[in-house]
Amino acid sequence: MPRFYFHLYNDVDAPDEEGREMPDLATAHAYTVHLVRFTAAETIKDEGHFVLDHRIEIEDEHGTVLDTVYFKDAVKIEG
């Protein structure tokens, strides 16, 4: 099973040193959307805001970026 790494780029860059084994990129993408939403919610609770251009990049075992999930793509803001 392939290992994916989820590198967070927000106010503090947080590289993922361990990664997670997942069956495929679609599963890794869905997991990343969950991580982005969780991180955005925690940032809103702690800071009162979040930045739409912050992101999590999904990398494979060879260091190739396979996908990027921006905060703005994982949440819906309604007025």
Q: Give the domain ranges of the chain.
A: 3-74
**Interval 5-57: pLDDT, tens:** 999 998 889 999 999 999 999 999 999 999 999 999 999 999 999 899 999 99
CA angle 24, 3, 59 (to 5 degrees): 85
Give the 3-state secondary structure of residue 32.
helix
pLDDT at 44: 92
Report yes or no: 70 and 52 within 8 Å, Cβ to Cβ. yes
pTM for this entry: 0.91
Res 60 pLDDT > 90: yes
Asked if residue 52 lies in contact with residue 72, where contact means CB atoms within 8 angstroms, the answer is yes
Under the banding of pLDDT at 50, 70 and 90, the label for residue 77 is: confident
